[in-house]
Amino acid sequence: MPDPRIVIYGPGSTGLAITKMLCDRGVRPVAAIARTGSKTVGKDLGELAGAGRIGVIVSDRADETLAKARADIAVVTISSYLDDTLYGIFEKVVKAKADVVTLAEEMLYPWVTAATLSRKLHELASAHGVTVTGTGHQDGYWVNLVGVLMATGHKVSQVSGALSWNVDDFGKTLAEQQLVGRTKEEFEAWKKSTKRKPTFGAISLYALAATARLTPTGAISTDTQPDLATSRVYCKALGKYVEPGQLLGYTDTDTMKTKEGITLRISSCGKVYVPGESDFNKWVLSGKRADGTNVRLQMLNADLPTAVTTCATLVNRIPDVLEAPAGLVTIDKLPQLGHRPSLAARSSEA
Amino acid sequence: MPDPRIVIYGPGSTGLAITKMLCDRGVRPVAAIARTGSKTVGKDLGELAGAGRIGVIVSDRADETLAKARADIAVVTISSYLDDTLYGIFEKVVKAKADVVTLAEEMLYPWVTAATLSRKLHELASAHGVTVTGTGHQDGYWVNLVGVLMATGHKVSQVSGALSWNVDDFGKTLAEQQLVGRTKEEFEAWKKSTKRKPTFGAISLYALAATARLTPTGAISTDTQPDLATSRVYCKALGKYVEPGQLLGYTDTDTMKTKEGITLRISSCGKVYVPGESDFNKWVLSGKRADGTNVRLQMLNADLPTAVTTCATLVNRIPDVLEAPAGLVTIDKLPQLGHRPSLAARSSEA
């Protein structure tokens, strides 16, 4: 099979990291689309990505570029939630008869939190014979590794994940969103007043439940706790110090109950790190031995390079999306996430 | 779908642990077969398993029992390697039109190390419209978790696993096989003279390569190193002390090179534990960031309850085997290993 024809839709830092990975693997994207006004427009995608000139000039004319590209798939790295804007972008790609693979976090399992747009997108993609799938770091670390782990346990009653990400890796907007440098009183006032979108953790629990063939009962509950500085810590993203007692960030804990009696929980901490801290992903499953005594299954991914895993997972999902049936196809319906030496779709054997 | 009709073929300690897990999940086996002379013959399978009387009497008449059982699947826990004896047992089950799921370690991926019998078994199973699959602890911890991890890395060049198991959990035969209490000189003499079967680690590397779509080049190399006692350690399995300088056991390191340039390696240590040691499973992947710098992906499963994971994995694989096409179907061809609340085969949606 020939290499897939790939469009990069959103050549921001993540889109460019994916571009570099694709070029490293010998698969050069055939087109790139940015929003009007982006500094990337008119530049060579390969040069922007640090992969050398590839003769693909970033365009802000989406329809024209998609029509010319005859793409098999578009990599969409624009935003996190399935709203009307993101739907509009997917619609352009789908109508150009290309599959979509996206890092939009809600797209990992949008069926519950964005039900109406999900159904509409599923119908649109089905009608045009293409696949739309969300993936990313969570696909591996919050869903598939955990799903495999669950298969190795007996009478598992609780599945609990804890993970951490560094606000300083993601810039000012996210640092402000994580309330870095605010007081505990400001945090409590924010908690009372805010109407937040579903957390990425909550969305991943839906995907995990579907993967483990569990049926959620009722809504996911979300608890949010501040992470307070105990010493003076410099926040690179804000360019200022966080004083003792102020927030380094906060931790969201999402809990899902299921009809099968298994509780799924994920605690996600986004904060400014103090020296020695790094991203991790840790899961503990409470289960039983055959003799009825309690036992725990544990997994720790320490020093986790989240920027790598996010992009590499998307790249390795490309053949799965190319081979999948038409529609909005979430990861619970895809084959096992795995390393793919070739990004081309395989024969029907797959 | 109704619950599957399951035969326990080999009600030893592992077969009985699986029986207990099945009963816990509300799926009572319908028959049990042991070798003539086994102490289990004539006893109630449920009582032997600690699950209470279930009215299934262990029989040593395999053909008659299989004919009566109208089983969907047999759980075969007899031996480790696909030799003529094990083939003969599979043949009885296959001719009775039941699927086979087995913990025989070589059956995880017997295509290379037992090529002739594998092909013969594949033809036999295909002709009778049933599936034969090997699974167990390795399915999760040495293959599928690692396979997912590999999908999250970029330009992975080396995948290295290290794991440990306690000789004292497995009795005298295995303790003697691991040379517990022998001298370093005896170990070296054994290494020169012995003609060993492929290690379980080597077999799992073939399954991992198939899962990660890699092509092995040449044979797997196996290196074996002694683990020497530095203080006096009691070996329960042998009922004697290991003196300083004598072997607590040994570590096999298997290395596979692949056409794609990725080296797969697994080090398996089987020894008598000193206080504070427990089973673990640890993997490190060497890869690159998009910018070309080196990065590592890590996974650690500490305090691993291998007896649980071995049996629970087999139980959760039952629906996959029931749903699989006919033939010898290795785990690289099955759906993602996952938690299965129901052990029944699903509709074609699966």
Nearest to A336 among B137, B316, B335 (CB): B335
Task: Dump pLDDT digits (tens) for B7-36.
Answer: 999 999 999 999 999 999 999 999 999 999
Phi first, then psi, for residue A128 (nearest 5°) are -100, 5
Give the DSSP per-residue string, A265-302. Answer: EEEEEEEPPPTT---EEEEEEEEE-TTS-EEEEEEEE-
Residue B172 is predicted with a pLDDT of 87
Residue A27 has pLDDT above 90, yes or no: yes
d(Cα B58, Cα B43) in Å, to the nearest integer? 6
Cβ contact, residue pair B338, A148, below 8 Å: yes
Minimal Cα–Cα distance from B184 to chain A, Å?
35
Over residues A225-231, the mean pLDDT reads 97
Say yes or no: A302 contacts chain B, CB-CB below 8 A.
yes
Residue A95 has pLDDT above 70, yes or no: yes
Residue A13 half-sphere exposure toward CB, CA atoms < 13 A: 7
Give the DSSP H or E segment for B267: strand B263-271
Over residues B139-149, the mean pLDDT reads 98
Beta strand B73-76 with B31-33: parallel, antiparallel or unpaired? unpaired
* Structure confidence at residue A173 as a pLDDT band (50, 70, 90): confident
Percent of chain B with pLDDT over 90: 94
Calculate the average pLDDT of chain A: 96
Burial of B286 (0-12, 13-18, 19+ CB in 10 A): middle
Residues of B in contact with A279 (CB under 8 A): none
* Runs of H (alpha helix) within B50-165: 62-69, 84-95, 115-128, 137-138, 145-151
Residue A348 is predicted with a pLDDT of 44
Give the DSSP H or E segment for B74: strand B73-76
Side by side, the strands of the sheet bearing B327-328 are B31-33, B6-9, B73-76, B99-102, B131-134, B327-328
Task: Dump pLDDT digits (tens) for B238-268.
Answer: 999 999 999 999 999 999 999 999 999 999 9
Say yes or no: A207 contacts chain B, CB-CB below 8 A.
no
Over residues A151-180, the mean pLDDT reads 94
* Structure confidence at residue B347 as a pLDDT band (50, 70, 90): low
Residues of A in contact with B260 (CB under 8 A): 341
Minimal Cα–Cα distance from A185 to chain B, Å?
39
Sign of CA pseudo-dihedral B144, B145, B148, B149: negative
d(Cα B126, Cα B328) in Å, to the nearest integer? 8
Cβ contact, residue pair B154, A337, below 8 Å: no
Contact B313, A149 (CB under 8 A): no
Cβ contact, residue pair A303, B307, below 8 Å: no
Task: Dump pLDDT digits (tens) for B35-86.
Answer: 999 999 999 999 999 999 999 999 999 999 999 999 999 999 999 999 999 9
Closest-approach residue (CA) in chain B for A13 = B290
A contact residues 72-111, partner B, Cβ 8 Å cutoff: none
Beta bridge partners of B224: B252
Residue of A98, A135, A109 lying closest to A322 (CA atoms): A98
B contact residues 150-179, partner A, Cβ 8 Å cutoff: 150-156
CB atoms within 10 A of CB A232: 11
Residue B348 has pLDDT above 70, yes or no: no
Using DSSP's 3-state secondary structure scheme, residue B257 falls into strand
Residue of B269, B124, B135 lying closest to B203 (CA atoms): B135
Say yes or no: A140 contacts chain B, CB-CB below 8 A.
yes
Cβ contact, residue pair A148, B151, below 8 Å: no
Residue B350 has pLDDT above 90, yes or no: no
d(Cα A233, Cα A166) in Å, to the nearest integer? 13
- Angle at which helix A115-128 crosses helix A84-95, to 10 degrees, equals 10
Chain B interface, mutation test: which of A14, A19, A45, A148, most B Cβ atoms within 10 Å?
A148
Closest-approach residue (CA) in chain A for B156 = A339
Residues of A in contact with B17 (CB under 8 A): 290
Minimal Cα–Cα distance from B307 to chain A, Å?
8
Minimal Cα–Cα distance from B165 to chain A, Å?
16
Chain B interface, mutation test: which of A339, A340, A342, most B Cβ atoms within 10 Å?
A339
Cβ contact, residue pair A301, B297, below 8 Å: yes
Residues of A in contact with B338 (CB under 8 A): 147-148, 150-151, 211-213
End-to-end CA distance of chain A: give it in Å, rounded. Answer: 13
Residue A335 half-sphere exposure toward CB, CA atoms < 13 A: 25
Residue A194 is predicted with a pLDDT of 83
Minimal Cα–Cα distance from B187 to chain A, Å?
35
Say yes or no: A23 contacts chain B, CB-CB below 8 A.
no
Residues of A in contact with B213 (CB under 8 A): 338-342
Chain B interface, mutation test: which of A154, A155, A300, most B Cβ atoms within 10 Å?
A154
Contact B79, B52 (CB under 8 A): no
Residues of A in contact with B141 (CB under 8 A): 152
d(Cα A196, Cα A177) in Å, to the nearest integer? 11
Say yes or no: A301 contacts chain B, CB-CB below 8 A.
yes
Structure tokens at A250: 């906060």
Structure tokens at A143: 């869903």
Nearest to A148 among B145, B212, B296 (CB): B145
d(Cα B186, Cα A338) in Å, to the nearest integer? 43
d(Cα A318, Cα A101) in Å, to the nearest integer? 7
Say yes or no: B288 contacts chain A, CB-CB below 8 A.
yes
Over residues A164-185, the mean pLDDT reads 92
Say yes or no: A20 contacts chain B, CB-CB below 8 A.
yes
Nearest to A151 among B140, B299, B301 (CB): B140
Say yes or no: A70 contacts chain B, CB-CB below 8 A.
no
What is the greatest pairwise CA distance in chain B? Answer: 67
Minimal Cα–Cα distance from A134 to chain B, Å?
15
Residue B216 is predicted with a pLDDT of 97
Residue of A85, A24, A11 lying closest to A343 (CA atoms): A24
Closest-approach residue (CA) in chain A for B137 = A152
Cβ contact, residue pair B305, A289, below 8 Å: yes
Residue A347 is predicted with a pLDDT of 61
Residue B218 is predicted with a pLDDT of 87
* Single-letter residue type at B23: C
Say yes or no: A52 contacts chain B, CB-CB below 8 A.
no
CB atoms within 10 A of CB A301: 24
Closest-approach residue (CA) in chain B for A150 = B339
d(Cα A121, Cα A134) in Å, to the nearest integer? 13
ipTM of the complex: 0.95
Chain A interface, mutation test: which of B14, B152, B299, most A Cβ atoms within 10 Å?
B152
Residue of A270, A158, A251, A155 lying closest to A208 (CA atoms): A158
* Structure confidence at residue B291 as a pLDDT band (50, 70, 90): very high
Say yes or no: A14 contacts chain B, CB-CB below 8 A.
no
Nearest to B213 among A152, A291, A339 (CB): A339
Residue B1 is predicted with a pLDDT of 80
Residue B294 has pLDDT above 70, yes or no: yes
d(Cα A51, Cα A45) in Å, to the nearest integer? 8
For chain B, list the domains and their CATH numbers.
6-134+308-333 (3.40.50.720), 138-304 (no CATH)
Over residues B200-218, the mean pLDDT reads 97
Residue A170 is predicted with a pLDDT of 82
Over residues B86-110, the mean pLDDT reads 98
* Structure confidence at residue A349 as a pLDDT band (50, 70, 90): very low
Residue A307 has pLDDT above 60, yes or no: yes
